[in-house]
Structure formats: structure tokens, C-alpha cells
Amino acid sequence: MQTDTSFADFSAHCLSRVERILDEQLPQTGIEPSRLHEAMRYATFNGGKRVRPILVYASGLACSGQPEQLDMAACAVELIHSYSLVHDDLPAMDDDDLRRGKPTCHKAYDEATAILVGDALQSLAFRLLTNGTESPSAETRLRMVRLLATASGSRGMAGGQAMDIDAVDTELSLPELEIMHIHKTGALIRASVQLGAMAAGGNESQQNHLGHYAKAVGLAFQVQDDILDVVSDTHTLGKTQGKDAAANKPTYPGLLGLDGARQKARELLDEALDALAGFGPEADQLRHLARYVVQRVH
């Protein structure tokens, strides 16, 4: 991957690469239990934007990493993300029928299968992080496993989902809303950036600056999600529009107003770009990705 590649070409290359490797690593549907393996593939290959794997590759590129050093981390974060969406859509959670314009996993199969799909995708993610050649080293891969486990657990994504459930029908302050989303959405986005830097052998200064970038981008992603839930439509989003408002969940537009939420997204974009000030053209894909996060329409 070249630093001077356009963002569209870079994203397409990353998406193609990670989907090829996911196809190799996910069990084939002819292997028993075939229905579970079919559902795992259904949940993974459903038209996702693959933002988190692209972050892994872009962060690794910023630290002079090679794609083969980054592949397993890119696949692992996408598997964790896919598992989280399957569980989020369940009746006990968000109770949604659509995901990326298709029936959610529990609708296409059944609730028990969807729960097992999430369990199996999560397990596979951690197994992939233990795969690899001499680079990254076994010690680095162990640190990566620890990082992803923390980002996925009660002090990260799962904890954020618990906060989100507890926040229904309550009013949160802006700091409380940010803490919730730093966990729920931001933790895995930060992990994607950090895993890319670690796998590429980034130094402490690079990893610190990329951590600041990732925190801002993670919050910006959620702010834009909240905005789109208000201004977009179900067809464009590929999921039920207005779901958060209907469930009386706290959102950035609900707290700040639509214009205030848009201003917040712009501020977070500036913060993310400022964090990359010490990097040269090797971080341009991260810059492009930050702009994409706040300009996307679905």
C-alpha cells in the first residue's frame, strides 16, 4: 500500500484484502455445524464499510508497517465489530429487524443461532491475533490480545452497551454521553488504530499521538451516527431510521441540537487532524479517514 494512493483506492484495496482473508479464515459452510458457519458468514459478509480494518491498515502505514503485519489485526477487529452488531440487534438489546439493508442475523436465522454467531466470531477474533509469522513478535501479539480484550469487555464496548441500556429514558450531561460512547463505539475504534501501530512496530510517541487521534475519531463517528439517525432515511442507512429517538435514548442531537451536533463533529475532526501534526504524508490516509467519518451519509 502506497502513501500517495487516493483514499478511495486505498479503502477499496483494504476492503478487498480484509474480505479475502476473512473468507479464508471463517469456516466454510460445508463444515459442521454448517448452519452456524453459514450464519457467521452471513453476519460478516453483509456489506459493511470495514472502517475499523481500514483504520488498522492506515495506522500501520503511518508507522511504516507492511500489510502482512496488519492482516490478522484487521480481521480481528472486524470480527469483534460483526459479533457486536449481531448481539446489539437481538430483541433483548436494540430489537432491530434490519442491518445494512438486510434482515438481521436473528431474523434471517433465529435468536439462539445469532447468540452463538456472536460467541463464535468473538472467539475467532482472538484466535487470529495469535496467528502470524515472526512479525509482529509473539510478545507483541500477546499485548495485542490484551488490548483487544480490554476494548471489547466491560471497560470497553460491552460496558458501553450496558451504559447505553441504563441510559434509556434518562437525561445525560455531555460528559456522561461522551463517557458512554468512548466505551461503546470509541473503544474498538481506538483499538483498531492502536493495534495497527503496535503490529507495525510504531514507537511510543507515534502510538501516543495515534491514541489521541483515535479517541477523537471514535467520538466523531458516534456523533455522525446520531446525526444520520435524525436526517437520513431507512433505505440510505440500511437500518431502521429514528430508532434511538423512538427508544428515548440520549443522543448528541438530542442534547446539543442538530446544529450543535454538527459543530461537535467538526471540532472532533479538527482535534483528530491536530493529533497527526507530527506525521508526514504517511498518515494522509488517516487524515482522509477522519474527514470521511464526519462526511459520510450512511
User: pLDDT digit string (tens) for 71-109?
Assistant: 999 999 999 999 999 999 999 998 999 998 899 999 999
* Cell numbers describing residue 126: 482472538
On whether residue 171 sits in a domain, the answer given is yes
| pLDDT attached to residue 297 | 78
On whether residue 1 sits in a domain, the answer given is no
Helix, strand and coil percent figures for the chain, each rounded to 5: 70, 0, 30
On whether residue 2 sits in a domain, the answer given is no
φ/ψ of residue 98, rounded to 5: -125, 140
On whether residue 196 sits in a domain, the answer given is yes
Q: If 0-12 CB within 10 Å is exposed, 13-18 middle and 19+ buried, where does residue 13 land?
A: middle
On whether residue 211 sits in a domain, the answer given is yes
**98, β-bridge pairs:** 103
* Cell numbers describing residue 279: 506525521
On whether residue 181 sits in a domain, the answer given is yes
On whether residue 298 sits in a domain, the answer given is no
CATH code of 76's domain = 1.10.600.10
| pTM of the model as a whole | 0.92
Domain carrying residue 216? 7-291
Task: Annotate 21-59 with b (16+ C-beta within 10 A) or e (fewer).
Answer: bbeebbbeeeeeeeebbbbbbbbbebebebbbbbbbbbb
On whether residue 28 sits in a domain, the answer given is yes
State percent of the chain over pLDDT 90: 83
How many domains are there within the chain?
A: 1
Residues 6+ apart with CB under 8 A from 115: 87, 90
